[in-house]
Amino acid sequence: MRQTLDFLLFDWLKAGDLTVRERFAEHSAETFSAVLDTCEKIAREKFAPFNRLADTQEPHFDGERVHLPQATHDATRAYAESGMLAAAQDYDVGGMQLPCVIEMAGNAFFSKASVAMGGYAMLTSGNASLLMAHGTPLQREVFAKNEFAGRWFGTMCLSEPQAGSSLSDIATRAELEDETDALGPRYRLTGNKMWISGGEHEITENIIHLVLAKVPGPDGKLIAGTKGISLFIVPKKLVNERAELTGERNDVSLAGLNHKLGYRGTTNCLLNFGEGRFTPGGRKGAVGYLVGKPGEGLRAMFHMMNEARIGVGLGAVMLGYAGYEASLDYAKQRPQGRPMTAAGKDASSRQRPIIEHADVRRMLLAQKSYVEGGLALELFCARLVDELATGDDKTQAQALLDVLIPIAKSWPSEWCLESNSLAIQVLGGYGYTRDFPVEQYWRDQRLNMIHEGTHGIQALDLLGRKVVQQGGASLAALAARVQQTIARAIQTDWAPQANQLAAALAQVGGATKKAWSTGEPEEALANAVPYLQAFGHTVLAWLWLDVALAVSGDSHFAHGKRAAARYFFAYELPKIAAWLDVVARREPLCREIQPEYF
Ligand SMILES: Cc1cc2nc3c(=O)[nH]c(=O)nc-3n(C[C@H](O)[C@H](O)[C@H](O)COP(=O)(O)OP(=O)(O)OC[C@H]3O[C@@H](n4cnc5c(N)ncnc54)[C@H](O)[C@@H]3O)c2cc1C
C-alpha cells in the first residue's frame, strides 16, 4: 500500500509541489514522507495488533462507567502524542500546518490498522477544527486547543432517535440562561442524542460534545425546519475560563451503549441531556455554550463537511485495502485445485495456489481496482481541499468538490464493501470464520453507507442539487476535467478506453437531462441511487485512466496498475448502461408501487 500511496501522492498528484506555497514553505517532500513514516509506525505497533481485541472486548457499561481495553487507551495516547490531532492547524496553535492531502494520507494508516480505535481521534480533530472556524477566541483557547493537545476528546451530536437523515426535525431544546458568560452565551439543553460515537469513555479526563439544538421562539415553541438549529459546546465536566475542571459534572448522562455489527471499538451512545441526573449550579439542564450565531448551527456543523466526508470515504477505502491485502496473502499460499489442462487431470500432481485460478484473480483484480481507485479518488479530493484553501483557482476547486464529495463519501462505502465481501470469498469457508480478519473488515465497513449521510441521501444531494446547481456549472467543470484526460489518452495505447470514457460521460450528461426533463423532483429523483452508482463508476474510470497515464516502465508495480485500470474499463464501466437506463426513462416502478403490494 505504501508504494501506491507514495506514487499517487508524489508522482500523480505532485503533492511535493505544495511546498512552494507560503503556508507549506517550511515543509519539503522529505518532511511529508517523515509524517507518513511516523503514522505508519504508530499504526503498525499500537493499532493493528489490537484491532481484533477492540472488536471482541467491545465497550462495556456497568451502569456507572464505560470500560474499554487498555490497548485503546494506549493507541489513542500514542496518536495524540504524534501531533496528528492538529496536523493541518497553524503552528501557533500547536499544529504542523500540513496540507489536507498529507494529513489524510497519514490518517489512512490508522483507518487500515484499526478504524474503530482511530475513531476517537478523527472525531476530536473534526470537532476542534470546527471550533477554530466558528468559535470565539476563548472557546478556541479553552476547548479546541485542549482537544488538539489530546487532553480532552470531542464528539458530534446531531442525530436523535426520531431524527437521523432529517435533521430539521431534531427536538433538543436550548433555553438561554446567561448571555454574558465568558465562554459564550450560556444555555440549558434538554433532549436525547442517538448514535453518538465516542459519547462516553474515560480515555481522556473530559469529553467536549458539539450539540445541535433548537432555541425556542418567543411563543416558547421550537421553530420548524433547519433555521432554528443552533450549535452548542456541552462539556461532560464543566470547566472555567482557564480550562480547569471546576469539579462539577454537567447534566449529560449515558442512557446506554448501542451494540453494533462492527466498528465496535468506538463507543456508540444514547446520551440524555438535561434529564436531571446531575444538577450543575444546583439545577437540572445541560450547560451549553453557543457557537456562532443562533440559527446557524447546521451551517457551522457542515463547514467541515468536505473533510468529514473525504475522511469517511478514505476510511472505507482503507478497510477495503486491509481485506485486499489479507486475501492476496492467502491466495498466494492456499493450495487448492489443479489447472484445467491435461496436466491438471493427474490427481496425484501438486495442487496450485488459488491465485493461479482465473476466477480468484478476477476477485483480486476487482478488489485492487476498487481500493486503489478509491484511494486515488480520496487523495484527489483532499488535494482539491488544498486548492480551495491555498490554490490559485478556487472557483474550479469548489465546483469540482461540489460534485465529487457525494462520490467521495458513497463510492468507497459501496464498492469497498463489495471488495471486503470478495476478500471473504477468496478465503472461502475460512473467510467466514473469526479466525481470519476479513469478516471483521466487512462488518466494520458496513457502517459507511449509513453514517455521514446515507447512500440514499448522498444520491439525492448529487442528482437533486450538485449536478443542476448554477445551471449545471459543477457538472460542466468536471466534464471539462475529464475531457482533458481523454485528450491525452487518445494519443496513446489507452485510446480505446478514452473513447469508452467519452461515451460514458455523454451518457451521464444525457441521463441527467432526461431525469430532469419534466422538472418534477419526485420523478427525477426516484432513481437517484442508480444515478449515483453510474456517476461514481464514470468518475472512477476517469481517475483510473488518468493514473494509468502517469504510470511508466516495465515493473510489476506498473503492470499491476495497468491491469487494474483495464479491469475497470472491461468489467465495471459497462455496468453504467443499466443504471442510467432507468434514470433516463424516469422508471416509475419504485415510486408507484404501493406499500400494500409488498
Ligand atoms: C455506528 C454509528 C455511528 C454514528 N455516529 C454518529 C455520531 O457520532 N453523531 C451523530 O450525530 N450521528 C451518528 N450516527 C447517526 C447516523 O448519522 C444516522 O444513523 C444516519 O444519518 C441515518 O439516520 P437514521 O439512522 O435515523 O436513519 P433514517 O434517516 O431513518 O433512514 C433510514 C433509511 O431511509 C432512507 N431515507 C431517509 N430519508 C429519506 C429521504 N428523504 N429520501 C429517501 N430515502 C430516505 C435512508 O437513506 C435510509 O436508508 C451514527 C450512526 C451509526 C449507526
Convert the pLDDT of each residue in 342-397 to its tens digit: 888 888 899 999 999 999 999 999 999 999 999 999 999 999 999 999 999 999 99
107, pLDDT greater than 90: yes
Which candidate, 111, 130, 112, 131, places its Cα nearest to that of 121? 111
Ligand 1 atom closest to the Cα of residue 162 is 26
Residue 457 — very low, low, confident or very high, per pLDDT cuts 50/70/90?
very high
pLDDT tens for each residue of 500-513: 999 999 999 999 99
What are the φ/ψ torsions at residue 534 (nearest 5 degrees)?
Answer: -65, -40
CB neighbours of 511 closer than 8 A, spacing ≥ 6? 531, 534, 580, 583, 584
Mean pLDDT score, 110-131: 96
Per-residue pLDDT, 576: 98
Q: How many other CB atoms are found less than 10 A from the CB of residue 186? A: 19
Ligand 1 mutation pick, 122, 165, 260, max ligand atoms within 8 A of CB = 165
Of the residues 130, 450, 522, 591, which should be mutated to test ligand 1's pocket, given the most ligand atoms within 8 Å of the CB?
A: 450
Average the pLDDT over 263-281 and give the result.
97
For residue 350, the model assigns a pLDDT of 92
Q: How far is the C-alpha of 276 from the C-alpha of 66, rounded, in Å?
A: 20
pTM score > 0.85 for this model? Answer: yes
The answer on pLDDT for 8 being more than 90 is yes
**DSSP code at position 222:** P
Stretch 480-486: mean pLDDT: 98
Is residue 543 scored above 90 in pLDDT? yes
pLDDT of residue 226: 87
Q: Which of 127, 167, 195, 312 to mutate to test the pocket of ligand 1 (most atoms within 8 A of CB)?
A: 195
Taking only the tens place, the pLDDT of each residue in 549-571 is: 999 999 999 999 999 999 999 99
Q: Which atom of ligand 1 is nearest to the CA of 197?
A: 8
pLDDT band with cut points at 50, 70 and 90 for residue 34? very high
Nearest atom in ligand 1 to the alpha carbon of residue 123 is 8
Task: Report the pLDDT value the prediction gives residue 303, as an integer from 0 to 100.
Answer: 80
Q: Which atom of ligand 1 is nearest to the CA of 159?
A: 11
- Mean pLDDT score of the chain: 96
Q: Which residues are catalytic?
A: 452
Confidence at residue 223, expressed as pLDDT on a 0 to 100 scale: 87
Return the pLDDT at 157. Answer: 97
Ligand 1 close to Cβ of residue 454 (< 6 A): yes
Contact status, residue 559 vs residue 357, Cβ threshold 8 Å: no
Confidence of residue 306 (pLDDT cuts 50, 70, 90): confident
Query: Shortest CA distance to 310 belongs to which of 146, 52, 122?
Result: 122
Contact 238, 287 (CB under 8 A): yes
Segment 163-193, tens digit of pLDDT = 999 999 999 999 999 999 999 999 999 999 9
Per-residue pLDDT, 343 = 84
Strand partners, 155: 209
Q: How far, in Å, from the CA of 450 to the mean position of ligand 1?
A: 6
Question: What is the mean predicted confidence (pLDDT) over 507-524?
Answer: 97
> What confidence score (pLDDT) does residue 302 get?
85
The predicted pLDDT at position 149 comes to: 95
Residues above pLDDT 90, as percent of the chain: 95
Average pLDDT over residues 10-31: 96
**Mean pLDDT, rounded, for 391-409:** 96
Q: How far apart are CA 583 and CA 511, in angstroms?
A: 6
Nearest to 159 by CA among 196, 198, 112, 201: 196
448 lines ligand 1 (CB under 6 A): no
pLDDT digits (tens, 9 = 90+) for 275-304: 999 999 999 999 999 999 999 999 999 887
Beta strands in 252-392 (DSSP E): 252-257, 268-273, 286-291
Q: Is 252 in the pocket of ligand 1 (CB under 6 A)?
A: no
Contacts 24+ apart (CB under 8 A), 88-97: 88/129, 89/129, 89/132, 89/148, 93/132, 93/140, 93/144, 93/145, 93/148, 94/145, 94/148, 94/149, 95/148, 96/35, 97/23, 97/24, 97/26, 97/27
Residue 532: what pLDDT? Answer: 98
Q: Name which of 196-210, 286-300, 313-327, 335-349 the model is least confident about.
A: 335-349
